[in-house]
Chains A and B, each alone.
Chain A
Amino acid sequence: MIAASQIEPVRPSPLDSRTGERREMTLHMGPQHPSMHGVLHLVVGLDGETVKWVDPDIGFLHRGVEKLCETLPWDAIAPVLERNDYLAPSTNSHAFCLAVEGLGGVDVPRRAQWLRCLADELSRISSHLVAWGTMGVDLGGAFGGGTSVFLYCLRERERILDIMQEWTGTRFHPNLSQIGGARYDVPAGFDRLLDTKLAEIDAKLDEMISMMEESPIFQARTRGIGVLSPELALGLGACGPVARASGLALDLRKTRPYEAYKEIDVPIVVRTEGDAYARYRVRIDEARVSIRLSRQILAGLPDGPIHGRPPVRSSKHKAPAGTSYAAVEGARGELGVWIRSDKEMSPTRVRLRSPSFANLSAIVYILPGHLIADVVAVLGSLDPVFGDVDR
């Protein structure tokens, strides 16, 4: 296997010493651009319509979350972190709570563990729905079939939000995980609600597939575009659907099982093409798997309390000194949180390992040689969330 350091990114061409200009036309895509997934600023070197190099400029959504965490009491951090990867919110707080619990050796009741995993699976489905939708907009534009796909996807995502509302009272940021347990138990009749809503989504997935995949135009636009080799994916730390589309069977739920996944067999969806199509397709299959896992988790939900005694709710609580790293398989891959505690009211240092950042870094390698139209297709297939990239 080639070491990743041997694969060089294509750097921007040097300025001409005489004119002070570059050979290529530089096009600044973003930060205000319809398909930059938020606030990515991409400086693209163009020869005609062919991309020669790309120079990503990130940080427009930097909020200083890691620094903010150092000022907050332990139990107030998880809700803040949910705003990072805002398309799959509950995975963020889950990872943080796992890290703190590792620090203090807190015993989490089994029921709470399973509930957290259920929330993760549901947010994975909703996040993947948004990913296809935005990819559709990237490929088809706001005035065309792409928007239709996008709106169908959002309509289906609404069902997940309905489920979360019934469960936690909040549609978007469920704020379910808390240190040492889960905040909300499932309401009565929840299994019936979940079953109906998920069945509806499952039925509509075929409609999405026929809208996108069975269209020869979609095939032409995504097959063989933005191929990410397994070596490069590994070297960049790519994870989640992006890595799995490149033939790497990386899934924390399988490779380093935590909580409910220790008892449930998680099938890993892997494809070998590594192109934009494979990344899209992995997400479709994964959503199907997640629908099945959600049902499985709810069916096997253990009885018992949902948080340990006493629940960590006091702002005066101090976590034991030490460092701890915990990661969950978020919708975009390994979402990790590293914490250092000096037995203070707040963590001394919090460091987030965001999957979007690792996946986004691939564009410098895979975009050169493609056309402008492919830039947005590849970006759509990588599915970065800028709350997560810029933190």
Chain B
Amino acid sequence: MWTADSILETFVFPFAISLATLSVFMTALIPVLWIERKLAARLQGRVGPYEVGSPHGYLQPIADVLKLLSKADMIPTQADRLLFLFAPIWTGTCALWGVALIPFAPGLAAFRSDISLVLLLAVASLPGLGQMAAGWASANKYALVSALRVVGQVAAFEIPLIAGAITPAIVYGSLDLNTLTEAQPAVGFLFGHPLGIPSFLLFLVGMLAEGNRTPFDIAEAESELIAGVTIEYSGMRFALFYIGEYGSLFLFGLLACVLWFGGFRGPFVPGPHWLLLKGFAFFCFVTILRWSFIRLRIDQFLKISWSGFVPASFLLVLLAVWWVG
């Protein structure tokens, strides 16, 4: 029997929450794009976007999106049509699911769960699947080589990423991101615990690999593979891959802030502003990393993962378990 309450709870709330998350996420992506372009320009001694929304090109991201929207949607004749059309949607939306799990204020997340950390990590590894599908479906050799690299990359760097992220969960005995935020000392898990820094470093490396950032942007590697899996895509489908890439980077940034930097907590009033501020600061840090390094080769990359980061991950988890007792 449908009551007013149950209808609200079943249909209206999820919809409203999804809409709210979507708008927060999309609004957050616009400054993310602008920050990246401006920061990269500063690092390289350029000014970056300047004319669109002068004096500092504030409207440039909007112009970028409008340009992509107006482009012809091309599908190669030999492509696997269904997979080709579906892959960008998959990659572009997965990061969004993850944002729904992030607690923005005490007890405030679009989707609350006792195991939100596990759910988030599961969701966050999904974009790779869309990239693989795109690489296979494009019927292009560059895309295929890139898809193979994505497989190797996801397999190799998921382990350090997860090991880093579950260390605070083991230490504080919870998989709920809200509880984990509350349980941290005031300086955050990063400085408030001896395992903070090693676990953060592992997470950072895994995150850079997952988010396709130099020195680990092996899959896209545009000086070798031109555009990697996105080589045959144009217009909005191409943009969806970028929404996915920046989205997952931003999502990982938020997760890092939740797990190591105290999430929504901060001086004065705790709340979403602290989390977003930390998230953007973290994104700037990652951007600086990106524009300062050159790329590793795929074999060197896999080697340092399997012989360095993966053993270190297991060691870290063992240490965390030993610490808890």
Residue ranges of A at the interface with B (Cβ–Cβ < 8 Å): 25, 27, 33-35, 46, 48-49, 136-149, 151-152, 155, 212, 215, 217-218, 220-221, 371-376
Contact = CB atoms under 8 A, between A and B. Distances in A.
B44 A152 contact: yes
Contacts of B295: 139-141, 144, 146, 217, 221, 373
A217 B296 contact: yes
Contacts of B141: 25, 27
Please indicate which of the listed interface residues B217, B220, B223 has the most CB atoms of chain A within 10 Å of its own CB.
Answer: B223
Nearest to B296: A217
B54 interface: no
B153 to A, nearest CB: 13
B298 A373 contact: yes
A155 B292 CA distance: 17
Given A143-B214, A372-B145, A148 B292 contact: yes
Given A46-B145, A145-B293, A372-B145, 12 more contacts: A49-B148, A137-B223, A139-B223, A141-B223, A144-B214, A145-B294, A151-B46, A212-B294, A215-B294, A217-B295, A221-B300, A373-B295
Given A148-B43, A152-B45, A34 B291 contact: no
A29 to B, nearest CB: 9
Nearest to B144: A25
Nearest to A27: B141
B167 to A, nearest CB: 26
A147 B294 CA distance: 9
A86 B290 CA distance: 32
Interface of B: 43-46, 141-142, 145, 148, 214-215, 217, 220-226, 290-300
A241 B222 CA distance: 27
A221 B223 contact: no
Contact of B145 (A49, A137, A138, A147): A49
B225 A372 contact: yes
B145 A148 contact: no
Residue of A27, A151, A373 ringed by the most chain B CB atoms within 10 A: A373
11 contacts: A25-B141, A140-B295, A141-B222, A142-B222, A143-B220, A144-B215, A145-B290, A151-B45, A220-B296, A221-B296, A373-B295
A147 B300 contact: no
Interface SS of B by simple majority: loop
Contact of B224 (A155, A218, A375): A375
A373 B221 contact: yes
Nearest to B141: A27
- If over half of A's interface residues share one DSSP class (helix, strand or loop), that class is named, otherwise mixed; here it is helix
Contacts of B300: 220-221
Given A144-B291, A148-B44, A152-B44, A34 B222 contact: yes
Contacts of A144: 214-215, 217, 290-291, 293-295
A140 B145 contact: no
A369 to B, nearest CB: 13
Contacts of A48: 148
Contacts of B299: 49, 371
Contact of A34 (B43, B223, B298): B223
Contacts of A49: 145, 148, 298-299
Contacts of B142: 27
A195 B142 CA distance: 48
A138 to B, nearest CB: 5
A52 to B, nearest CB: 14
Contacts of A46: 145
A384 to B, nearest CB: 16
A143 B297 contact: no
B296 A145 contact: no
Contact of A151 (B44, B215, B290): B44
Given A27-B142, A143-B214, A374-B297, A33 B292 contact: no
A143 B294 contact: no
A216 B24 CA distance: 39
Contacts of A142: 222-223
A145 B291 contact: yes
Contacts of A220: 296-297, 300
Contacts of A138: 223
Nearest to A134: B223
Given A25-B141, A217-B296, A143 B224 contact: no
B297 A221 contact: yes
A140 B45 CA distance: 18
A143 B217 contact: yes
A180 to B, nearest CB: 42
Given A142-B222, A217-B215, A373 B297 contact: yes
A152 B222 CA distance: 20
B145 A136 contact: no
A186 to B, nearest CB: 29
B44 A147 contact: yes
A218 B215 CA distance: 11
A385 B167 CA distance: 52
Contacts of B292: 145, 148
Most chain B beta carbons < 10 A, residue from A144, A147, A375: A144
